Amino acid sequence: MAFQFECKEEGVFDFNWELHLSPLDIKIPFIFIGTYKNPRIMLCRSSVDFGKTIAGKKLTAKIKITNLEDFPQEFMIDKASCFSKSFLSSLNISPESGLILPNSSNELDVSYCHDQAINMNINALVHVKNKTAPLRLNVKAQISKIECLMILENEDKQRFTLKENEMNLFEIDQVWLFTIFKFSIGKTIVYTFYLTNKSNFLIEYKWNPKDEVENECFKIYPPSGTIGAYEETTNHLLLRSTEIVNGPSYKLGIILKSKIPGIHFSFLSYDFGLCYIHSCGNTIKDTELLLYNNEKTNISVRVLPTHDSSFDVQFESELINSDQEVKVPIYFRPNKSGKFSESLIFEINGVYKRTIELVGKAVDLKIEALNLCDKTLKFGAIQVGQVKKKNVMLLNKTCKPVKMKLSLITSRSTAFQRGILEVKPSEDIVMDAKTGKVNVSVLFCPKNRVSEFVDEV
């Protein structure tokens, strides 16, 4: 006889069967118990927030998909979930499918690019074979366009609005984007440019002369500067003829680029030192990175997603006001032993990047029974009301002091009742590194009949 167990939901299931031998009139009842658990496949983070950024810029991030099982697992990206009709562009995740080896991770590249101002929010699905529900990755971004207005004012106080991204020509009584000025030797002409920043980003502008000859023929001041969000700046252009008779022609070009703002970081590298592999009840190592805005205008700061989930940064994006300080909590939660390092990248005003180096080392918590035979305690069968006590000497083999508290892990309410099974000492225990010892007493005192049980300390 062969029995096959198939299940589509997580849980413990039991099935009662009865074997009936008719000629002998014999009935043998038996029970099958099956446990189904979802494969332990997980993403290193459930969301990627690109924060505020500029339209047309390619957004990239890296995440890891980890297989904690002892057998390989297949995964596949749901392409339909990466596309939204309202955004008219698709989220790219590569590779789109693959095989994750046992107890290892695969890296996924997440990228998105859009040339319009939108608030993007996409829930990408990752299907894993034998997993009842797909993994979900939420990706969002606030994409804005930089909008500027350029107005030219001549000596007669006439104003002309210049068109962006077009090659135009300007003479004394006609207006186009680029300018040709005609004048006599020795005469100086002054023109005024009004540049307005109509976006919520701080921008930097710079006048770029085509070559050094043109530099000798005209001056512009200021030659560069910054414009805060929704602010205006004024530039003056002085054209002066040199040795060219009848007045030469000149072309002016304008280049806009983002400014590198002044943000002070309290540190550029941090060492978390030695700590234990992260688990429930362990103390988490943490620190605070302080960001201070030295500028006179607001600055947007966001942190790019990290590759290593061992470093948890409790900060996504924020607009920092002038002379304001912001605290960025950073936690070190290693899930395996070894040395860890991470380059934490902060993106400022959507363009400039600053890197913070994080390092740390994790060791496995090794607390063992001094005598291997004491790893399992057998109390046997005793009468109700009797007390049986067993002592175990524990040794700390970790190269770091340990502070811990003993507790019972049990699924049986009878064994967990106070006075039936107790572990002492019950208060916090501190064990020295490598040689620290503590004597643990386990008392078994049943107040009534207790069925056979297996519990853990």
Name the pairing type of β-strands 118-128 and 169-170. Answer: unpaired
The C-alpha atoms of residue 342 and residue 344 are separated, in whole angstroms, by: 6
3-state SS of the chain is: CCCCCCCCCCEEEEEEEEEEECCCCEEEEEEEEEEECCCCEEECCCEEEEEEEECCCCEEEEEEEEECCCCCEEEEECHHHHEECCCCEECEEECCEEEECCCEEEEEEEEECCCCCEEEEEEEEEEECCCCCCEEEEEEEEEECCCEEEEEECCCCCEEEECCCCCCEEECCECCCEECCCCCCCCEEEEEEEEEECCCCCEEEEECCCCHHHHHHEEEECCEEEECCCCEEEEEEEEECCCCCCCCCCCCCEEEEECCCCEEECCCEEEEEEEECCCCCCCCEEEEEEEEECCCCCEEEEECCCCCCCEEECCCEEEECCCCEEEEEEEECCCCCEEEEEEEEEEECCCEEEEEEEEEEEECCCEEECCHHHHCCCCCCCCCCCCEEEEEEEEECCCCCEEECCCCECCCHHHHCCCCEEEECCCCEEECCCCCEEEEEEEECCCCCCCCCCCEC
Q: What is the pLDDT of residues 241-278, one digit of tens each?
A: 333 333 333 344 444 444 567 789 999 999 998 887 77
Average pLDDT, the chain: 77
Share of the chain above pLDDT 90, in %: 17
CATH code assigned to 41-144:
2.60.40.10
Q: What is the pTM of this model?
A: 0.44
More confident residue, 154 or 311: 311
pLDDT in the model for residue 380:
78
pLDDT in the model for residue 411:
58
pLDDT in the model for residue 202:
72
Lowest mean pLDDT among 247-256, 273-282, 295-304, 415-424: 247-256
pLDDT exceeds 80 at position 420: no
- Are domains 41-144 and 263-363 of this chain identical in fold? yes
Specify which residues 17 forms β-bridges with.
Answer: 30
pLDDT in the model for residue 185:
37
pLDDT in the model for residue 99:
94
Tell me how far CA of residue 13 lies from CA of 5, 19, 32, in angstroms. Answer: 10, 20, 8
Extract the tokens encoding 144.
């804005």
Report the candidate in 201, 168, 231 with the shortest Cα–Cα distance to residue 350.
201
Q: Based on C-alpha coordinates, what's the Rg of the chain?
A: 35
Give the sign of the dihedral formed by CA 208, CA 213, CA 215, CA 219. Answer: negative
Lowest mean pLDDT among 1-10, 266-275, 324-333: 1-10
Lowest mean pLDDT among 48-52, 145-149, 314-318: 145-149
The domain 263-363 is classified under which CATH number: 1.10.287.610, 3.40.50.2300, 3.40.50.300, 2.60.40.10? 2.60.40.10
Report the candidate in 115, 141, 153 with the shortest Cα–Cα distance to residue 234.
153
The C-alpha atoms of residue 252 and residue 167 are separated, in whole angstroms, by: 11
Q: What is the pLDDT of residues 356-412, one digit of tens each?
A: 999 999 887 788 888 877 778 887 778 877 888 888 888 888 777 888 888 777 655
Direct distance between the N- and C-terminal alpha carbons of the chain, in angstroms, rounded to an integer: 40
Lowest mean pLDDT among 26-30, 256-260, 367-371, 417-421: 256-260
Residue located via tokens 């030659």: 223
Domains of the chain: which residue ranges? 41-144, 148-259, 263-363, 367-444
pLDDT in the model for residue 176:
29
Q: What is the pLDDT of residues 53-85, one digit of tens each?
A: 877 788 899 999 999 888 899 999 999 888 877
The domain 148-259 is classified under which CATH number: 2.20.25, 1.10.10, 2.60.40, 3.90.1570? 2.60.40
CA atoms within 13 A on the CB side of 127: 10
Q: What is the pLDDT of residues 138-185, one digit of tens each?
A: 998 888 777 788 888 877 788 877 776 665 455 533 332 333 343 333
